[in-house]
Structure 1
């Protein structure tokens, strides 16, 4: 077994001793020497030492036994907070208490003065503004519109009174309507009402209206219509004495 192995090693040494020729590099021709007689180059041979195949087995060094020590817990000291909660302030000095009372009194007085200043500013704005002029213009406009509406309503109501037979017939019709309306309201409020009492109420005359008892025939006027509608004539600019509208 040793002879073939040694022979392979010798062949390998001989192969390695040959010079290395690069396939890309070409030798530069020498101009002094004719090309017919090239001079051989002597390349020094290098010998590779033989590698020993015998490897000593690796024996791990015996590690000394270590004693398993019991771990000691780390005792952490409590860390004090940098931002400590301040203790509540308990004033005990009479001077401090007196100053606090004085401060509260001054603050209350200051709030009152500020409120009075705001009211004065608001009053000044109202006095110097043009809202009063605008308000008067709106009042006049509303009065004129109300007067026009009253004129249209008076024309229709006057024609209706004439068709009914005059003021006497209209008042009688109004009395019946008022009585019927009162009885209907009482029937809604009271479930069981004596029939005789209802009949007695229907026979009774309602309160006397304006102009009742007069022998002369009463005319249907604008003043009468406005009072019947519960509208004050002065509110919309009607002069009861002159029986005409106040346009200004």
Structure 2
């Protein structure tokens, strides 16, 4: 069980750090003067000027997806054993679905930069079409699905942790941040929110990543306490055994 606790803790921290790294890399494109990321001409120019940044955003997501898969499975097994099964199963499914979406989008970015530049060298219009395919299928398709799945998982973990008293209360309360992402995403797609609500949605993305990081640190503290307790309980550590 101690090993399981450490696996859950480390994988959660790694996935959160990589998620924040991806966000930083993703913001590089507009910061470097390529503001409209949906403009295929600007997009191809960015990939031509900074192919390593375009590929690194994908690599960060691929490794994040692997770490998130381990985190989701380990947390469910280590923290919610004995809980009613369907909430745990539904929460786990949301997290694993998010990992799949991140993996797909990351693989698209990693594999697209070389072929995109090659095709753009043959025809500018073809290169822009390839960029649009990656942009629509990735940024407008699987990426929002992955972020929604991650927010659903974080919300579910917060509710289960609060109900089972399996996680610190502050972590569970901070689960309101990913819950806001879910709420705004669902209501926004129904046209029930004003246009300004996009700011809440945008802010909830790094907020959800930071929640994952806070969860990871909480799990690290728990694993450290478990290791310390286990050492104290080893035979030969008690006073009666030390003084025959």
Using the size of structure 2 for normalisation, the TM-score is 0.18
- Highest relative contact order (Cα 8 Å, sep 6+), 1 or 2? 2
Structure (1 or 2) with the larger CA radius of gyration: 1
Using the size of structure 1 for normalisation, the TM-score is 0.18
